[in-house]
Amino acid sequence: MDCCQNPRGHITDSRYYSRGYTTLEARMVFCDQRRLQRWLDVEAALAMSQASLGMVPAQLAKRLLDTARLDLLDCEAIKQGIVATGHSLIPLLDEWQKAAGPEAARFIHYGATTQDIQDTAQSLELKDILAIVERDLALIIEELTKLTEKHRQQVIIGRTHGQHALPTTLGLKIAIWLDEMLRHAERLQECRRRVPVSQLFGGVGTMAALGAHPRELLEDFSKRLGLTAPNTAWHTARDRIAEFLSCLGMLTGTMAKIANEICQLAKNETGELEEPFHMGKIGSTTMPHKRNPELCEQVVVLSRLVKSAAGLGLDGLINEHERDYRAVRLEWAGLVDASLYTCGLFDLLKNILKGLIVHPDRIERNLNASACLISTEALMFLVGNKIGKQAAHKLIYEISMEAYNSGASLCDLLNNHPMVKNSFSESEIRAAVDPASHIGLAVKQAEQVADLARKWLSANGPKDQSQLTCPLAENDQCCLTDSTSV
């Protein structure tokens, strides 16, 4: 079989590699067949709304509704028509007219402009993507909450500028990720409130061809489709799309930060965290010992791709006059790519967090090896009680640099220093360099964030397995019949 009879040039459509970039579920949202069917659904909703206001005979609107099915139309003729006319919608409408019959066909696309239909359908696509993202975000928040609670008291080296700094807890590290994700959840809720809106304003946004009661028509049309009715046309006002893409860029950026941190802490020299591993997972063709953090690396890759696509949303803010296609055609690529990569990233990170490997023995070993050096703040305040904070800073700094340069133990150098030796016992110094004794409010902060997350999950998280499925229509025609490709 010649596989090039059905070429799949984009990485998200690859039979072999798409799983690393997106999910079948996300691909189905933007599949060609679904897109054309959505346009028909929007056109049918318009006809039914017009019938409710007496603009279209009810029986003819019903005829349009019954025939607005892609399986009744000649898809090859639609494809050829797009090539011949250079128009994205008219060939679909031409074939629909044949199925609907001449009497009903008179009321197809009655008063709307092409972008009204396509923008409205795009809003329906965004609703599906939001449903997937919100569902998976709840799952990630749940996993981060569990990890925060489980490791809230696990003392770990805190690092700043890539260097050992002060003690903290693994729970607080994860709680900071969790808190950030909760803020993204708020942003997504705002997106859901503002972004999925209908479009029904005619050629230049005046609604002049939409009958005597255009606002009532818009309201009914929007309600039928489960969308919000906007105040004015947004043919050239693409801020909603830019907001949605920016939100995806921020959200995936945080998830990439999480994955990158796991990568950093998985280095052989550190070995504190590790992404899930199973026998058979191969890291290298030449180095059999390698356990590469490729899942985490791929999360970072996808985040960068989302950021790149999100930039197109900002470019799409620049349009001319009442309508042009500069933004729309950018969105057909950028919005789709950002959504596909985001869903793929969520799928990866869900599995990473669920199977995250924590190595407490390595955490303890690293902590004990650096206990003195990461306790210099506590030592400075201890000594400062005798000689003042600034003088103590100077003293601890000089002894720390000596330890760093000579390889000697900081504690030994301190205990042998005349001022320290005459003022403090060795037991006092040892107590001061116990990392667990100066983690501040790390445990309490982790618990507070976990409590907030639990409250959020009780209101927004999936309650049972039946809610873990994206609410996409199961009987929509779809060109992605090869489910094994992902």
Q: Return the active site residues.
A: 161, 284
Count CB neighbours of 279 within 10 A. 4
CB 306 within 8 A of CB 342: yes
Distance between CA atoms of residues 176 and 416, nearest Å: 40
Q: Which residues of 147-176 are buried (b: 16+ CB within 10 A; e: fewer)?
A: bbbebbebbbbbbeeeeebbbbbbbbbbbb
Question: H-helix or E-strand containing 145?
Answer: helix 114-150
Distance between CA atoms of residues 329 and 333, nearest Å: 7
Count CB neighbours of 76 within 10 A. 9
Question: H-helix or E-strand containing 155?
Answer: strand 155-160
Count CB neighbours of 102 within 10 A. 8
Question: H-helix or E-strand containing 167?
Answer: strand 163-169
Count CB neighbours of 475 within 10 A. 5
Distance between CA atoms of residues 250 and 187, nearest Å: 10
**Residue 208: which of 112, 78, 64 has the closest Cα?**
112
Written as six digits, the tokens of 215 are 């606002």
State the sign of the Cα–Cα–Cα–Cα dihedral 31, 34, 40, 44.
negative
Rounded to 5°, the CA angle 424-426-429 comes to: 70
